[in-house]
Structures are given as structure tokens and as C-alpha cells.
Amino acid sequence: MLERLNQAMEHIEGRLDQRIDVAELARTALTSEYHFRRLFSGLAGIPLSEYIRRRRLTVAGAEVLGGERTLLEIGVRYGYSSGEAFARAFRGMHGVGPGEARRGGATLQSQPRMSFRLIVEGSSSMTYKVVEKDAFRVVGRKARVPLVHEGANPHIAEFIRGIGRETLRRIESLSEDQEPEGIISVSDQLHESRAEGTELDYYHGVVTSADVPDDMVVLPVVAGAWAVFESAGPFPLTLQYLWRDVFTQWFPSNPYQSRPGPEILRVRLSDDGARADSELWIPVERAVAAV
């Protein structure tokens, strides 16, 4: 898997001055476009689109200082439709405009080329199972909230407080004897970049086939396979590390890839709210076999 990912990285590097087809990158890595974006973000720590943008501006910066092409030629070469658009992007990364950089020999920022390698630590193991589940429905309340990578999400906390205890009890009473059982947190329609601050649909509800109350919404979920990961520890840090480890450790070493669909979290907090036992449900499918 890592060898194929590094082939995709070479593909990017050879086409910085051309249109880069993410579907072709995914084929090189023998995975789906959806999973490739998710896996790259998990491994690299930045969205694929941001990495490509920064690599292009890094190479463009070297050409600006080299002085062999006009600034407009450089901008167009790396995908900008006008000198103004190129100047804005250049300043956003390097802190100076391209004209100023060329005249003054400015110090510029650089996005290094990335490659991936396996580091064997052996200090921890992951507890998981893969289950096939028929189509089901999540019923509860919904909000559109920004994504927060570390620490508790204050927008979600505020939304849950606003639901009210009586409504929370009504939601929980709809829960049936099917997994995941009880109140769950569901993240859906996340931006493909997974960048901090991008928005997602958050559902606070239960899995149920009961009638939907007038003041609640329903999220239909298609049938498919789910990888279910368990964790226990300080909340929410342990859970956020679990999500990171799923994409940086579990996927690269297992014959599965993520598929489109909501991510489901079942959390049972300690009395003081400092620790939690959690289940993270990720929709998966079998990965394409290497030729």
C-alpha cells in the first residue's frame, strides 16, 4: 500500500504544471478516490488539495527567484488564470508578492516533497471488528457545525445542551435492540478536505425503525460493511487519537478502504466526564487487490 501511495506522490510531482487528476492518483494507489483523499489527509496531516497547492507555489517561488520567465508566465504555468490571482496566492504562502520577491531576493517558504514509510512501533494494538449491517435509519436532532480536530467541539456541546433533557430522553426511548445501541453521534457530509473549520452535518440520535416524531429528523443509511473500533481513556483525546490511528495505521495494513457514508460514534462517559469508553463506526469496503 505504501509503495503505491509513493507512486502516486511521484505522479503529483511530475505534473505540478499540469492538471492533476485525483481519480488517476487513486488508481495508481489501487484505491477509490474517496479513500485516497481520506488516507492522504490522515497520513500527511493536511488535505491533498492543500499539499498540491503548496507544492506548486514552492516550485513557482523558485522560478520567480530564477528570473527566466515572466511572473505572468509562471502564474499561468501553475494554474492561475491571472497575475492578480497568482500574486494573492503567492503572498498568502510566502508573505511577499512575486514582484517583491524577485526584486529583493526574498526568503520564501517551502513545502517539502512528501513520501510515506512504515514505522513499526509495536507499543499499542487496536481492537476492532468488521460487521455487515443492513440499511438502517438514525432518528434525532441535526445541526450544521464546523469541524474541530483537537479538544471538545464547543459547537456540538452547545447544540446538545440546547436539545433539552426531556427531548434527549424521548430520543433515547426510541433506541432498539440493534447496534450501535443507545444515543449516538453521527458525522455526515464532511468536506472532502477534512480541514479544520469546514462544516459537517451532526446528528444526535439513535438507530431505530420507530415512527419519526414531528420535531426530529431522519438520516437513512445504506447497507454495507463497517469497521468498528473500540477505545477507552481520557475524553476526548483518546477518541481523536483513535480516529488518527485508524487512517494512519489500520487502513494501510488491512485489506479495506473507506467508503462514502456517515461516521458513527457511541460514547459512554464516566461520571466526571473525564474518561470514556467509545466505539467508532467507519463505513468500509474491501480494497482493490494489488496486481
**8-39 confidence digits (pLDDT tens):** 999 999 999 999 999 999 999 989 999 999 88
Cα 271 off chain centre by: 31
Cβ 78 vs Cβ 17: under 8 Å: yes
pLDDT in tens, 95-151: 999 999 998 867 899 898 988 775 555 445 578 899 999 999 999 999 999 988 777
Domain range 127-286, CATH class = alpha beta
Reply yes or no on whether the pLDDT at 195 is more than 80.
Answer: no
Residue boundaries of the structural domains of the chain: 2-104, 127-286
Distance between CA atoms of 194 and 200, rounded to whole angstroms?
Answer: 9
Distance between CA atoms of 71 and 269, rounded to whole angstroms?
Answer: 57
User: pLDDT exceeding 70 applies to what percent of the chain?
Assistant: 95
Cβ 75 vs Cβ 83: under 8 Å: yes
CATH 1.10.10.60 is right for the domain spanning 2-104? yes
**DSSP H/E element including 130:** strand 127-133
More confident residue, 237 or 234: 234
The runs of H, that is alpha helices, within 67-130 are 71-77, 83-94, 98-104
- Exposed, middle or buried, 50 (CB in 10 Å: 0-12/13-18/19+)? middle
pTM of the model: 0.74
- Angle 2-13/33-44 helices, nearest 10 degrees? 90
Pairing of strands 256-258, 136-146: unpaired
